[in-house]
Structure 1
Amino acid sequence: MSALARILRFTRSLTPYYVGIMLAAMVVTGAGLAIPFITGRATDVIVDAIEQSGAGNDVLAATIRTVLLLALALLLAELVDTVMSNVGGYWGDVMSARMRTILSTRYFEKLLSLPQRYFDNELTGTIVARLNRSIAEITNFMKSLANMFVTLIMTTIAVLIISAWHYWPLAALLLIAYPLYLWLTALTSTRWQHLEGRKNEHVDVASGRFAEVVGQIRVVKSFGRERSEQDQFAQHFDTTVELTGEQSRHWHRMDVIRRAALNLIFFGLYAIIFVRTVQGHFSPGEMVMLVQLMAMARQPVTSLSYVVDTAQRAIAGSRSYFEVMSLEPSQIEPTGSHPHQPATSDPDGPVVRFRDVRFGYDNDADVLDGITFEIARGERVALVGESGGGKSTLINLLMGLYAMRDGQIEVVGAGSDLESLRTNIGVVFQDASLFSGTIAENIAYGRPEATRAEIEAVARRAAVEEFVRKLPRGYDTMIGERGMKLSGGQKQRIAVARAMLKDAPILVLDEATSALDTKSERLVQAGLENLMADRTSLIIAHRLSTISEVDRIITLRDGRIDEIGPPAQLAASGGIYAELLALQNASTASARKRMKSYDVVG
């Protein structure tokens, strides 16, 4: 029940809808309760008329007027039921839509607030499947609860009072039926929820893999893995079929016991009503009224089965939803991490400063240890090191995508939150990472308010216009999910244009031209030269020609800084950069292989 209470608290802004739906249900229930009384009264009037078949025309006419009025009352009760049930249904539909909006937007907001480390450990498809399943089950339950709760309570109370008024053993038997059914339902619930949780795990894994395969469909097809992926996918859902069978057997076995107990109790209720009618204690009209009331009393008990079923699904679904909502960044990032600090805005001071930074993934050993360096305003600094040596990790730390284990990073413009930090940094990753939408929208992602003229200006500088001119819709061309309709070089040029348009004072280039052919690289590099002018730049480059043009080089070896200095100085030091220059002049296969280990080509 705590999970259900949490759902109500989480959606308390929908209270007016809950109240409206319940008021409509109260009117519907009242109209429904009036029908047995009207029917019972009509029965007595008709029976009396039959017994007085020899009475005069005046009595007959009065009887007809009475039954017609009673028929009109039945029509009125049914019309009220029809109208108010539809009013309640409308409010229920709007409430469900608003609840989906609330739950979805809060879930999305929570995800956006979580550190990068959370997404490293979760499949995208699993996150989406968890959201869809949880919200569907929660909204279904809340809608059914709002529609049924008042009806169940009012009907139960009214039937108990009326039954006790006419003959107290009727109410006594009903008082046995309700708690007995609830107790048997509770026995069913625990095992059902356990099996439902196992089913959800398999569905989430299968859905996560499904999204991953669709996103990497070219790789799947290229390696001929369609059948194996299909088999793994089917295996998860085959398991859910087995679990559903076990779950259903348990549910229906218990349902037989519950309904059999209910049948015995209602047998006693009907037997009492019929016998006391024969004995003259109840009139025919009272008998009809009580029989209809017993049918109404049965409805809340049987409806309870549906409410409990949807409640169990909501509890099982909300568990994974609220697990995510309860996450705090401190639970995901390691303890002892330090936030970014604003550097002094002294024009002669450094723009970026790393102070004894230490970092590692999860519980693994440190990837970076004792990283200390400064970058002056307008300086271009290149990072060089072996593949996997921590170059991209260092960039990720600068961007605040991960928290450090120890140390401190100071950045000019960094405020109390990461948004202020990232506003001051423009970045081009090795993977272009575009979104579905138009070319113009992707270029303007960092500055949505940019004008078309500004978009086209940076597109020319980044050599985007060269291929856009050939597209029928130009900058309004839809590029598909992750830019699937574009070549690698075209996507990377758009990513470069995106960074140009953001026009941040600090620029990060993580192998920004690695996906370009020679011609495109030459065009983009010219644009990057203009972009880096009077701008602080941190570069991971894959060509020695690019590295040689920076102000300083930082070389990394085994997660530590090996050397820092201008290219000319490091060329003669005998370190990593000097080794790369020597390897460039050597034309052997082993030299090329060694250079490749540094992600660098000549």
Structure 2
Amino acid sequence: MPARPDSTRPSGDPGPDREKGMIGSLVAIMRFTGELRTAYVVVALCAVVTAAAGLVTPFLIGRATDLIVQAVSSGRTADSVQPLALLAGAILLTQLLATVVQNVGGYTGDVLSNRIRAMLSTRYLDKLLRLPQSWFDEEMTGTIVSRLNRSIAEVSQFAKAMANTFFTMLVQTIAVLVISAVYYWPLAVLLLVVFPVYVWLTGLTSRTWQRLEGEKNAHIDAAGGRFAEVVGQIRVVRSFARERHELETFTDHFDETDATTEAQARHWHTMDVIRRGVLNVVFAGMYFLIFWRTLEGGFSIGVMVLLIQLVSMARQPVEMMSFMLDTAQHAVAGSRDYFRVMNATEALAAETMPALPDRADDAPVLEFDDVRFGYGDGPDVLRDVTFDVRRGERVALVSESGGGKTTLVNLLLGLYPLRSGRILLEGVDIADLPPEELRRRISIVFQDPSLFSDTVGENIRYGNPDASAADVERAAAGANAADFIAGLDDEFDSLIGERGLKLSGGQKQRISVARAMLKDASVLVLDEATSALDTRSERAVQEGLKTLMRGRTSLVIAHRLSTIAGVDRIVTLQDGVVDEIGTPAELARTDGVYGRLLALQRRGEDSYLNAYQTAR
């Protein structure tokens, strides 16, 4: 059978890459959040009004200065009181206007920043939910979370700074350039020189800074990932007395960031001295030109005051550029990590439900047809796997450890693409089924119950969010869980802690069985559902599983062969290939995988019994 096409596709999400410069990366961020354009426009308009109001003040002060000089020179100071009062009132009004509009822009910027955070966070989770299982196999959970927190914090902080500072700074700078050119063109020329020189010097700084920031972020993400693992496995850490080792490993990562930060800060601040030195020289030249022009009679005292204030206004945004560029560089570094995930290749999945074929009542519900699979570029894990499961039939998968049983379950759930072959559910290739429709038709009970930090009832209802309280109670009773739930303080409303840590292994597994029972899918998969339980807990769970399997097509994986003695057929796997298919009685008489494992188990039981009798 020909190999399947690659079951992945590019996401199509826009995002900066390493080849894009800072401007391209920031534009990509704004494009990615384009639906917030109204907020961007409001922020920009507020910036224009604030800058305009700020620019009016130097003109008013310049006019007042000329009036005072004229009044003092002519000795008619009394006549100037009223116009000076009007000028003072105009200054007050413009500053009040600037204050109000600036805060409207600041409010909009704060809301914009939070919406960007929410948008980036929800899109990140949506993307993760659509990535293939193979992507998660290569990533640490804590690293994924750390990358999200860091990247989104840096991007949203930049958006807030841009909203509250950048637009006003940009408008103000352009206006100062135009006004300076009107009054004395050499001032505008010097401003036109200092801006690109400053940006160029910052660009030189940025390349090294970005490289060092990437190295630092790698250590921060690794430390965050390990931190999450240690907290999640704290009992293991303590039981092996590895607290000091984990602390040292965590500390080493941050020691590395110290060294990187020192180099980064040294480079940045050395270049900042050069940048600001150039700035100081140019602005000193501008002040000298204003003073000299005034001495020559080219400017009145009021115009001199006006131009000094305008030049000071131009200096402030240039100096603020250091802060903006620092924030922008953090955003760019964070956005690259963020968009690296957003641009990861998604699993290719069917989007429409195909027409279901007409099938006879005795047609197989599940069919594995010449299935071949391997992880990534590695060797085949499964080869030529072919068997079927009839309606209502209970089929067990048996192999030695690592034989491919759980891999088959993962393939049935569509978590990985096949290299060749087909898996059919009700006569339809699962590759042609939308993932939600495929998984809606399958209930699964894992070896690890994988409960959430919620109530007992909500964990059971996870299998069917629309189920009523009565439905939840019936599922609990069917799973043999009702008695222990009744003994909890708040019964179905009892919180069970992270991953159900407040419950025993058997109690957690019975909730897992109730969850699968409430889902009420036609196909049931039991993946080592009782292998981690003691005998008493296993029996309690088995009672629930018997109820759950009744009338359902079941695929059962179990290490303990006694738990599959009642199945209809057994499929054995050896080295990724189907070895035998038959009833438990038939395979017990052969020298195949099941027969050998059964003999080993019986010898182990006999040895235990002999040892026990000898000890007595």
The reply to whether TM is greater than 0.5 is yes
SS at structure 2 position matched to 1:446:
coil
Match of 1:156 in 2: 173
Q: How big is the shift at 1:566?
A: 1.0
Post-superposition Cα deviations, 1:397-421, rounded to whole Å, max 9, x if no partner, equal: 1111111111110012755311111
Counterpart residue identity of residue 373, structure 2: F
Map 1:168-567; keep pairs closer than 5 Å: 168-329=185-346, 345-412=359-426, 414=430, 416-567=433-584
State the distance in 2 between where 1:418 and 1:259 align: 58
Q: 1:460 to 1:520 in 2, by over 3 A?
A: farther
C-alpha deviations, 1:187-240, integer Å up to 9, x for none?
111111111111111101110001011100100011111111111111111111
Q: Quick one: structure 1 residues 380 and 10, their matched pair in 2 at CA, closer, same or farther if it must change by over 3 Å?
A: same
The Cα shift of 1:49 comes to 1.7
Q: Which runs of 5+ in 2 are unaligned?
A: 1-22, 610-616
The offset of 1:3, in angstroms, is 1.6
Q: Give me the whole-angstrom Cα distance separating, in 2, the residues matched to 1:439 and 1:160.
A: 67
Residues 33/105 of structure 1: CA separation in 2 closer, same or farther (3 Å cut): same
Range that drifts further, 39-48 or 247-256: 39-48
More displaced, 145-154 or 539-548? 145-154
The 3 A distance-change label for structure 1 pair 587 and 429 is closer
Mapped partners of 1:33, 1:174: distance in 2 = 17
Residues 126-141 of structure 1 mapped to structure 2, 5 A cutoff: 126-141=143-158
| Deviations 1:553-575 (CA, angstroms, capped at 9, x unpaired) | 01111111110011121122232
Question: Which secondary structure does the structure 2 equivalent of 1:437 belong to?
Answer: coil
Code of the aligned partner of 1:128:
V
One-letter identity of the residue aligned with 2:320:
S
- CA distance in 2 between partners of 1:166 and 1:526 (Å): 92
**Equivalent residues of 2:463, 2:516 under 8 A apart:** yes
**Contact 1:357/1:369 (<8 A) preserved:** yes
Q: 1:572 to 1:344 in 2, by over 3 A?
A: farther
Q: Distance in 2 between matches of 1:549 and 1:142?
A: 63
Aligned-pair CA distance for 1:330: 5.5
**SS state at 2:503 partner:** coil
CA contact (8 A) 1:377 1:536 kept: yes
Aligned residue number for residue 60 of structure 2:
38
Is the CA contact (8 Å cut-off) linking 2:47 and 2:171 kept in structure 1?
no
| Shift in CA distance, 399/106, structure 1 to aligned 2, threshold 3 Å | same
SS at match of 2:529: coil
The answer to whether the Cα contact below 8 Å between 1:340 and 1:400 also exists between their aligned partners in 2 is: no
Q: Percent identity?
A: 57
Do the aligned residues in 2 keep the contact of 1:462 with 1:497 (CA within 8 Å)? yes
- Pairing 1:52–2:69 present: no
In structure 2, what is the Cα distance between the partners aligned to 1:46 and 1:345? 100
| Distance change in 2, residues 1:548/1:422 (3 Å) | same
Q: Distance in 1 between the 2:98 and 2:127 partners?
A: 42
Supply the distance in 2 between the matched residues of 1:590 and 1:112 (Cα, whole angstroms).
49
Letter in 2 for 1:480: G
Q: What CA distance in whole angstroms lies between the structure 1 residues aligned with 2:218 and 2:256?
A: 11
SS in 2 for 1:151: helix
- SS of the equivalent of 1:400 reads coil
**Is the contact made by 2:569 and 2:581 (CA closer than 8 Å) also made in structure 1?**
yes
What is the identity, as a one-letter code, of the residue corresponding to 1:140? Q
Letter in 2 for 1:36: P
Q: Which amino acid aligns with 1:542?
A: H
How many angstroms does 1:275 deviate by? Answer: 2.0
Cα pair distance change 1:393/1:344, threshold 3 Å: farther
Structure 2 counterpart of 1:20: 42
Q: In the comparison of the two structures, how many residue pairs are matched?
A: 581
Amino acid at match of 1:230: L
Post-superposition shift, 1:342?
6.8
Higher deviation after alignment, 192-201 or 362-371:
362-371
Q: For the residues of structure 2 that align with 1:143 and 1:573, how far apart are their CA atoms?
A: 72
**Secondary structure at the counterpart of residue 462 of structure 2:** helix
- Per the TM alignment, residue 364 of structure 1 is displaced from its structure 2 partner at its CA by 2.2
Shift of the 365–499 alpha-carbon distance from structure 1 to 2, 3 Å rule, reads same
Q: Which has the higher contact order (CA 8 A, sep 6+)?
A: 2
The answer to whether the aligner puts 1:87 opposite 2:104 as a matched pair is: yes
CA distance in 1, matches of 2:583, 2:358: 25
> Residue in 2 aligned with 1:598?
none
Q: Deviations over 1:463-519 (max 9, x none)?
A: 222222221111111111111221211111111111111010000001212233333
Contact 1:343 1:411 in 2 (8 A): no
State the alpha-carbon separation in 2 of the partners of residues 50 and 589 from structure 1: 118
Can you give the 5+ residue segments of structure 1 that lack an aligned partner in the other structure?
334-338, 593-602
When the two chains are superposed, the root-mean-square deviation of aligned CA atoms in Å is 2.0
Distance 1:391 1:585 in 2: 22
Question: Per-residue deviation at 1:102?
Answer: 1.2
User: Partners of 1:343 and 1:363 in 2: how far apart?
Assistant: 35
CA distance in 2, matches of 1:374, 1:328: 32
AA aligned to 1:357 is V
Measured in 2, the distance between the counterparts of 1:586 and 1:398 equals 34
Contact 1:340 1:409 in 2 (8 A): no
Of 407-416 and 182-191, the range deviating more from structure 2: 407-416
Aligned AA (1:517): D
SS of the residue 2:539 aligns to:
helix
